[in-house]
């Protein structure tokens, strides 16, 4: 919805510092295919958050990453009802501990990097075993 993107970005940065490119990928993983972020929306939103002093650059890595300032964290606390509505409407959460989307996205990226360099049958066996293990977890929790 209009005006929600900066708040969602701020919430994602509160989980872990990220740069614009990382935010693009994470938003696509969490909210795609219903929402496909573009650099033309992410970078201006990030620039606005920075201009409002709600995020600041953090040291480390080759690319600039951003994290919320104390004022940004206060704004997040004040806007929890808006974030809750976004989460309810989309079925996604900015809390990495409650959402597997970011984890699955990172897994997919790692597997994609080695594609063509590993035995495909071996990867399929590993994925089948992982799926079975997850199904066993589901059974253990009575679902």
- Position 61 scores a pLDDT of 66
Give the Cα separation of 39 and 25 in Å (integer): 11
DSSP E strands in 1-143: the ranges are 55-58, 65-68
pLDDT at residue 143, rounded to an integer: 52
Query: What does the pLDDT read at residue 1?
Result: 61
Taking the C-alpha atoms of residue 129 and residue 123, their distance in angstroms, rounded to an integer, is 10
Tell how many helices (H) and how many strands (E) occur in the chain. 7, 2
- Domain ranges in the chain are 5-94, 105-140
CATH architecture for segment(s) 5-94? Orthogonal Bundle (1.10)
Residue 68 has a pLDDT of 96
The length of the chain is 143
Q: What is the DSSP string of 91-119?
A: S--S-TTT-SHHHHHHHHHHHHHHTTTS-
Residue 116 φ/ψ region, left for φ over 0, alpha for ψ in the -120 to 50 degree band, beta for the rest: left
Per-residue pLDDT of the chain (143 residues; tens, 9 = 90+): 667 889 999 999 999 999 998 999 888 887 777 777 888 999 999 999 999 999 999 976 678 899 999 999 999 999 988 888 877 777 666 554 445 555 666 677 677 777 788 888 888 888 888 888 888 876 776 65
């Amino acid at each position: 919805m209009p005006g929600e993107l900066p708040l969602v970005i701020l919430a994602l940065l509160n989980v872990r510092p990220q740069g614009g490119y990382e935010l693009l990928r994470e938003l696509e993983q969490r909210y795609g295919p219903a929402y496909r972020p573009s650099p033309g929306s992410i970078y201006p939103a990030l620039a606005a958050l920075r201009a409002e002093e709600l995020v600041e650059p953090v040291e480390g890595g080759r690319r600039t990453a951003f994290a919320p300032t104390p004022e940004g964290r206060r704004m997040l606390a004040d806007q929890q009802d808006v974030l809750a509505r976004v989460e309810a409407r989309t079925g996604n959460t900015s809390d990495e501990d409650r959402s597997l989307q970011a984890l699955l996205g990172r897994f997919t990226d790692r597997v994609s990097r080695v594609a063509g360099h590993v035995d495909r049958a071996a990867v399929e066996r590993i994925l089948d075993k992982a799926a079975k293990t997850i199904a066993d977890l589901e059974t253990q929790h009575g679902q």
